[in-house]
Amino acid sequence: MSWWWVVAAVIAIGLFGLYLSMTAGRLDALHKRIDTSRLSLDAQLLRRSSVALELATSGGLDPAGAIVVAEAARDARTAADEDSSATDRADAETALTQALSVTLDAEEVAEVRSAPGGSELLAELAASAQRVQLSRRFLNDAVRACAQLRRQRLVTTFRLAGHTPWPDPVEFDDSVPVALVAPSS
């Protein structure tokens, strides 16, 4: 065997190792992006529940609606503070979204806007709800990209993901109440 073959084999093995190293680096970067996105989503969810709680206690909502929104916001915060499962957290966030959607119809929004500081609270709630949507979308995009990379044969064969748990997408109703995004009259 010629020394050229040995050099070619060493170069091929080196290039293959470089490819595996780059793929592992990409996978690590995706896992970091997932962690960062998850923290961002958590912060946005806490902000949304804080604004919803502030709206409920502002006196601008009717008493029944204020109680519904306050309880849903409190449950969402409690689910975030405890070591509850992702399903419990998603259920609590969906309940908050539904409480806001049911409570904040067009008439209620107009009434809250007419109260002192109501417009600012509603604008802040709409902005925080939109940031929740964006944060969840970024997280789920990162999870999808990571899962796609982890399904590749080389990644599974060489166990490039190590012992990192499989990333799960976050699914819950994060729609913004229609009356909040409708142009004010």
Phi, then psi, of 159 in degrees rounded to 5? 50, 50
Closest C-alpha among 42, 50, 63 to residue 135: 42
Domain limits at 138? Answer: 3-181
Q: What is the pLDDT at residue 80?
A: 86
Residue 46 sits at the vertex; the CA angle it makes with 130 and 178, to the nearest 5 degrees, is 30
User: How many Cα atoms occupy the beta-carbon half-sphere of 138 within 13 Å?
Assistant: 19
**pLDDT at position 52, please?**
98
Hey, what amino acid is at 136?
R
Domain count for the chain, please give it: 1
Distance CA 128, CA 125 (A): 5
Scanning the structure block, which residue is given the tokens 């999870």? 143
Determine the pLDDT at residue 73. Answer: 98
| pLDDT tens sequence for the chain (185 residues) | 689 999 999 999 999 999 999 999 999 999 999 999 999 999 999 999 999 999 999 999 999 999 999 999 999 999 988 677 889 999 999 999 999 999 999 999 999 999 999 999 999 999 999 999 999 999 999 999 999 999 999 999 999 999 999 999 999 999 999 998 876 54
Give the orientation angle of helix 118-150 with respect to helix 106-114, to 10 degrees.
Answer: 130
CA distances from 100 to 65, 116, 183 (A): 9, 20, 18
pLDDT at 83: 75
Q: Cα 18 to chain center, whole Å?
A: 33
